[in-house]
Amino acid sequence: MFNFIIPFMVLILVVVFIHEYGHYYFAKKYGVGVTDFSIGFGKEIFGWNDKSGTRWKICWIPLGGYVKFFGDRNVFSQADQEELLKKYKKEDQEKLFVTKPLYQRSLIVAGGPAANFVLAIFIFLFIYMFIGKDFTSAVIDEVQKESPAEIAGMKKNDIILEIDNTKVDSILDVSKLIAMSTSEYIDFKLSRYDKDIVLKVKPNLVDSEDNLGNKIKKRMIGIRLSPYNNEINHVKLGPGQALIYSLNEVYFVASSSLKYLGSMLAGSGDSSQLGGPIRIAKISGQVAEFGIIPFISMMAYISISLGLINLFPIPMLDGGHLMFYAFEKLLGRPLSQKTQEGFFRIGLFLLLSLMFFATFNDLKDLGLF
């Protein structure tokens, strides 16, 4: 268990710090006073004050963090701005979050998720430039009898070009794209004797284990792959090309995650794979045993997930702030305090339900249910 805790703490500290620093950066840029920059919740373990009066601190519960603005009680809108202004002198009023123009408040709020995406891009950029990216073609070496692949018409020596309209750059992409597919049928674009063909394959959903030994439900089509001409093509990319592939990877992970969540809401997705902090801690410890590159790759994926989730239009998340700002822009005024409080209750219920469900899956994964 101790082997899981340290990697998990490192991962959370980095990802949460980057997220909160995104808020902090834009707040300072637009002259908003910042009183607290906290990693974790609850009682402070240690901290210090900088020259501007911000308290930087680490707290006991390492499941998030926050940036607290000067005089801030409600960052969702300017509903109580007049009442708040009466409590501060002229020079202090300029440091209040609620006095800033709508676009500045929006950038301060969006800065957190944006920072998470930037972190992921930099991680992928580093890997592709200094470690390299695999471009080994995916050739079908074997098609199992009576498998979904054979039924669909796949044959030995077919080269997989695309899966669900996503280009297959590497043999490593195939299992990932199959696993991330959410539709009943998976579209495969293949090259056969220099001719392109498209096949629809209906995968089997089987109980299996991932590379780390964790139980999962896996989509299987019944093929075995091998490198084209048995040649591994691993290339270190230049900055421009590495950036393009980094952006593509972030886009792919974000869009695939949204499709997966959409399939769960529609009732067709596998909700058992949705995990919380316990599962993240377990997997981060397992991945760390494989080395620093797999670990920072996982950090990139977690960072994307954190940025994406925070953009959901749920009150109490960054997306909730932006939703209220959108209403403020459309109506020309902020929503009433009563309306906001109603949204807060709904948001709290949704978040607690999600946390309960994810934690239940985590405990079930550990064999406690």
b/e map of 263-273 (b: 16 or more CB within 10 Å)?
beeeeebeeeb
The answer on pLDDT for 215 being more than 70 is no
Average pLDDT over residues 139-164: 93
Provide the pLDDT confidence category of residue 340 given band limits of 50, 70 and 90.
Answer: confident
Average pLDDT over residues 19-37: 95
Nearest to 16 by CA among 45, 53, 41: 41
Contact 161, 169 (CB under 8 A): no
The residue with greater pLDDT, 129 or 211, is 129
Contact 94, 31 (CB under 8 A): yes
The answer on pLDDT for 192 being more than 70 is yes
Average pLDDT over residues 182-186: 86
Residue 162 has a pLDDT of 94
Residue 201 has a pLDDT of 94
Residue 368: CB atoms within 10 Å: 9
Most confident of 28-42, 166-180, 228-242: 28-42
Decide: helix, strand or coil at residue 94. coil
Lowest mean pLDDT among 14-18, 30-34, 181-185, 216-220: 216-220
Where do the H-state alpha helices sit in 207-336? Answer: 239-266, 277-288, 292-309, 318-331
d(CA 298, CA 246): 14
Residue 293 has a pLDDT of 86
The answer on pLDDT for 364 being more than 90 is no
d(CA 242, CA 244): 5
d(CA 258, CA 279): 20
280 has which bridge partners? none
Given the residues 20, 44, 150, 162, select the one marked as catalytic.
20
Determine what percent of the chain is predicted with pLDDT higher than 90.
43
Contact 144, 151 (CB under 8 A): no
Domains and CATH numbers, the chain: 2-130+302-365 (no CATH), 133-235 (2.30.42.10)
Residue 355 has a pLDDT of 64
Residue 219 has a pLDDT of 84
Residue 75 has a pLDDT of 45
pTM equals 0.84
Decide: helix, strand or coil at residue 72. coil
Is residue 20 among the annotated active site residues?
A: yes
Inter-CA distances, 323 with 47, 351, 354, Å: 33, 16, 20
Residue 127 has a pLDDT of 94
The residue with greater pLDDT, 177 or 269, is 177
d(CA 196, CA 181): 21
Share the mean pLDDT of the chain: 83
Provide the pLDDT confidence category of residue 37 given band limits of 50, 70 and 90.
Answer: very high
Residue 369 has a pLDDT of 44
76 contact partners, CB below 8 Å, separation of at least 6: 315, 320, 321, 324, 340
Most confident of 3-12, 35-44, 264-273: 35-44
